[in-house]
């Protein structure tokens, strides 16, 4: 249904004791969720991403992801001796992130780029294909680090066909503190043939408590992105037909190009956190 302003009306899906979801038209059932109840992160649902393209990333940490006892997850910005750290949570694993031991470590050779064997396979905690994916969250306040809610394929880039091996689907990315977010898709891995399409900037409207809903409907034909119950963007190609896993991530700026933080981070006033109220996944009935 379309309302008088031209927006598709979203339907409330109520979860007892928690904020409701806003879902596109249709009959939906919830198949996976985390309301972040209690005082400890549910490690049966989440693991920490600590590696990026086989390398242990200096600022990805398993410290500082805490539940506040009020059904919220806080991913905290941490400072230690002038260096900054934050967390990335995932329900599965990208094969390119699997670390290994170089022959240098094993044999003492000074210049041996070969890494073998790589790490053992890890069983994903949750993988899914198609459906509706939603996060309710509050963006951080300090400059110098960013947050994202996204889907990743465990075998992205393993084949030239993104429909077969998956698409990185960034449902929400926030890089600045001016209430600007974007949606972005990446495919063909992360090599010279990498491809990308993005929504451009999307300005968030204020909400009473500062929390926002970001959602994605993924079906065989398209990705449809939603912000606070309103359609924001559509992508019709390429569409992944492979099961993918969920990530909630934060990252400190500056460390992909150097061993020092972005100057903006040095001005950050702590504490600061990316706060998540819930993550939910729905299937159409």
Q: Does residue 6 form part of some domain?
A: no
Write down the pTM of the prediction. Answer: 0.93
Q: What is the pLDDT of residue 121?
A: 87
Q: In the predicted model, what is the mean pLDDT of residues 186-192? A: 89
Distances, alpha carbon 251 to alpha carbons 29, 54, 84, 157, 174, in Å? 32, 17, 9, 22, 11
Which value, in Å, is the radius of gyration of the alpha carbons in the chain? 19
Q: What is the pLDDT of residue 53?
A: 86
Q: What is the pLDDT of residue 110?
A: 58
- Within 10 angstroms of residue 44's Cβ, the number of other Cβ atoms is 9
Judged by phi (left if over 0) then psi (alpha if -120 to 50, else beta), residue 200 lies in left
Q: Does residue 5 form part of some domain?
A: no
Q: Does residue 57 form part of some domain?
A: yes
Q: What is the pLDDT of residue 3?
A: 42
pLDDT class for 158, splitting at 50, 70, 90? very high
pLDDT in tens, 226-259: 999 999 999 999 999 999 999 999 999 999 889 9
Q: How far apart are CA 61 and CA 70, in angstroms?
A: 23
Residue 42 C-alpha from the chain's centroid? 17
Strands 21-23 and 11-13, by their bridges, are antiparallel
Q: How far apart are CA 82 and CA 124, in angstroms?
A: 35
Q: What is the pLDDT of residue 1?
A: 37
Adjacent-strand bridge partners of 90: 47, 247
Adjacent-strand bridge partners of 37: none
Q: Is the peptide bond before 271 cis (omega within 30 degrees of 0)?
A: yes
pLDDT in tens, 111-154: 566 677 778 889 999 999 999 999 999 999 999 999 999 999 99
Q: In the predicted model, what is the mean pLDDT of residues 78-90? A: 98
For the chain, what is the mean pLDDT?
Answer: 93
Q: Does residue 3 form part of some domain?
A: no
Q: What is the CATH number of the domain that holds 248?
A: 2.60.120.200
Q: Are 244 and 127 in contact (CB under 8 A)?
A: yes
pLDDT in tens, 15-70: 999 999 999 999 999 999 999 999 999 999 999 999 998 888 999 999 999 999 99
Q: Which of 86, 99, 140, 97 is nearest to 261 (CA)?
A: 86
Q: Are 162 and 196 in contact (CB under 8 A)?
A: no
Q: Are 212 and 124 in contact (CB under 8 A)?
A: no
Q: In the predicted model, what is the mean pLDDT of residues 181-196? A: 93
Q: What is the pLDDT of residue 191?
A: 83
Q: Does residue 159 form part of some domain?
A: yes
What 3-state DSSP class applies to 170?
strand
Q: Does residue 1 form part of some domain?
A: no
Q: How far apart are CA 5 and CA 231, in angstroms?
A: 12
pLDDT in tens, 200-232: 999 999 999 999 999 999 999 999 999 999 999
Q: How far apart are CA 86 and CA 180, in angstroms?
A: 21
Adjacent-strand bridge partners of 23: 11
Residue 143 domain boundaries: 11-284
The number of distinct structural domains making up the chain is: 1
Q: Does residue 267 form part of some domain?
A: yes
Q: What is the pLDDT of residue 215?
A: 98
Q: Which of 8-17, 79-88, 171-180, 205-214 has the lowest mean pLDDT?
A: 8-17
Distances, alpha carbon 23 to alpha carbons 1, 40, 122, 146, 172, in Å? 12, 28, 32, 26, 17
Q: Does residue 278 form part of some domain?
A: yes
Q: How far apart are CA 76 and CA 63, in angstroms?
A: 9
């Amino acid at each position: 249904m379309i309302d008088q302003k031209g927006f598709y009306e979203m339907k409330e899906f109520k979860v007892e004791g928690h904020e409701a979801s806003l879902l596109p038209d249709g009959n939906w059932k919830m198949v996976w969720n985390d309301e972040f109840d209690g005082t400890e992160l549910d490690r049966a649902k989440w693991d920490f991403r600590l590696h990026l393209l086989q390398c242990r990333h200096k600022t990805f940490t398993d410290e500082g992801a805490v539940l506040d006892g009020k059904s919220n997850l806080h991913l905290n910005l941490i400072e230690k001796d002038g260096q900054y750290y934050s967390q990335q949570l995932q329900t599965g694993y990208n094969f390119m992130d699997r670390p290994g031991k170089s022959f240098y470590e094993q044999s003492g050779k000074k210049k041996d780029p070969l890494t073998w064997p790589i790490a053992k396979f890890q069983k994903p905690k949750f993988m899914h294909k198609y459906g509706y994916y939603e996060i309710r969250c509050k963006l951080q306040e300090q400059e110098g680090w960013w947050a994202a809610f996204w889907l990743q394929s465990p075998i992205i880039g393993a084949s030239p066909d993104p429909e077969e091996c998956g698409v990185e689907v960034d449902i929400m990315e926030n890089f600045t503190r001016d209430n600007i977010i974007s949606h972005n898709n990446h495919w063909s891995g992360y090599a010279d043939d990498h491809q990308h399409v993005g929504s451009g900037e999307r300005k968030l409207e204020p909400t009473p408590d500062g929390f926002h809903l970001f959602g994605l409907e993924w079906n065989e034909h398209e990705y449809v992105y939603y912000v606070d119950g309103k359609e924001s963007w559509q992508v019709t190609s390429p569409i992944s037909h492979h099961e993918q896993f969920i990530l909630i991530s934060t990252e400190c700026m500056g460390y992909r190009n150097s061993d020092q933080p972005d100057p903006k981070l040095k001005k950050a006033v702590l504490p600061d956190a990316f706060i998540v109220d819930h993550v939910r996944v729905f299937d159409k009935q």
